[in-house]
Chains A and B, each alone.
Chain A
């Protein structure tokens, strides 16, 4: 499965572009703020119908414009597929071979994004780490997304109720419980899925960390849940008074965290810069490996400014990994010379200037 061609119209700062891709390696180079990441974002949008930078797709339409198009031609095992996403101020429409469909009728196209800000993930808030894990599990697990959606829905309803100043306390107490049973029902699935997938991920992560870092420490992205499956309803019940006080739901997987550790020491407190970079790279490669194990298929890679983030030790490993990588890769960089010659045997490259691609 690979992307043969892409055409964009009024997408972010790109007025119009038509690109036909190399089956393996594609590079977008250029100065800052020219539109390189925007191109990767459009590919991501085509893959799972969502941006990686924005929840609200309206921001993807060029300013001053009212409609944007993203269209791609994919080579799939079952033949060619044309998919189009049309964005207007009012709605997002998706088409497959010219026919209007819902995005889940697209053939699933696994994709893994390496973003420069991911290095910050380990130091970021628990919220950022939950979003990262949720984004991954939505792609890996068949049931995760719908339970996450319903869990968040029940949680938001309950929080809104807790914040309502007009409802008397006794009435609030009664109504709070109505949203607890869906929270427990869907939240329990989230807990189980997070447990199972993080378990799998950690086995792989530990291996990669050892190889990339030449380091025998045991690396874990440890799941630290806010509440145990068995105690969910009882703890929730016990916290009701406090929740009424603080006007927020305090119990459940929306307060989980994932802790990066080396030999059980938290990396954000004790790790070096280098250890953090190695950990992040190992984490990303583990993501890829998970897709390969689950789907029997290598995901497309979107590498945004990765080369500038790597030092010598890690880049040597990473580039040799890329060279033997079998699926399609899209990378951005400020200059082509940042890639070793071995990586640039068979490839296609564009320079992006003010939203316009120029072939090399």
Chain B
């Protein structure tokens, strides 16, 4: 029988960047710290998958479906910005420079990590484009090797649909992950986006 401590260490050890040593330290911290800390954490974890949903249109995390971008008619549905992660949506929102809607892929192509097109929300994007006909799709994946390959993949896939496809300008520092860019660099990259055909 595994002890509750071992069980917790094992579970924490699965988090990215957490090795066994850190996991053990965290587990003993939770054991010794005021009970409320462990209680809050366990409640937050319990709620996570019950209350947080993916929007059935854009696949962004949302507390209602469709999300606040996809419903309410305040955003321009003719402009879809495709990003890797929900955190990229927040980064772009912070610039205040974008009035369209999003599509979140939940990752980028990476054979090394066993991630192929079927592991991304690509089919969801295609389904979405069956009913709506946006004027432009902005590919805003990260400015690194995997992000570029993902954009190239999508550009080829979407080309037959005849929609205008653009890519964020490459003024972004190499290896640039969107969420680490400051707002002005990011809004400039959006503004200077280039055709990708």
Contacts and interface: CB of A to CB of B under 8 A. Distances in A.
Contacts of A153: 144-146
Interface centre among B21, B116, B144, B149 (most CB of A within 10 A): B149
B134 interface: no
Interface in A121-166: 146, 150, 153-154, 156-158, 160-161, 164
A282 to B, nearest CB: 35
B116 A157 contact: no
A160 B111 contact: yes
A179 B153 CA distance: 10
Nearest to A178: B149
Interface centre among A146, A153, A164 (most CB of B within 10 A): A153
Interface centre among B111, B112, B116, B117 (most CB of A within 10 A): B111
Prevailing SS type, chain B contact patch: helix
A89 interface: yes
Given A160-B111, A175-B116, 13 more contacts: A90-B19, A146-B174, A150-B145, A156-B112, A157-B112, A157-B146, A164-B111, A175-B109, A175-B111, A175-B117, A175-B153, A182-B148, A182-B149
A167 interface: yes
A178 B109 contact: yes
Interface centre among A89, A178, A181 (most CB of B within 10 A): A178
A193 B79 CA distance: 41
Contacts of B149: 154, 157, 178-179, 181-182
Interface size class of B (residues with CB under 8 A): 10 to 19
B19 A146 contact: no
Prevailing SS type, chain A contact patch: helix
B172 to A, nearest CB: 13
Interface in A21-56: none
A46 B146 CA distance: 31
Interface size class of A (residues with CB under 8 A): 10 to 19
Contacts of A156: 112
Interface in B90-121: 109-112, 116-117
A74 B19 CA distance: 34
19 contacts: A89-B19, A150-B145, A150-B175, A154-B145, A154-B149, A157-B112, A157-B145, A157-B149, A160-B111, A161-B111, A167-B116, A175-B109, A175-B111, A178-B109, A178-B149, A179-B145, A181-B148, A181-B152, A182-B145
Interface in B6-59: 19, 21-22
Interface in A58-72: 66
Nearest to B151: A178
User: Top 4 A-B pairs ranked by shortest CB distance?
Assistant: A160-B111, A178-B149, A161-B111, A153-B145
Contacts of B152: 178, 181
B129 to A, nearest CB: 20
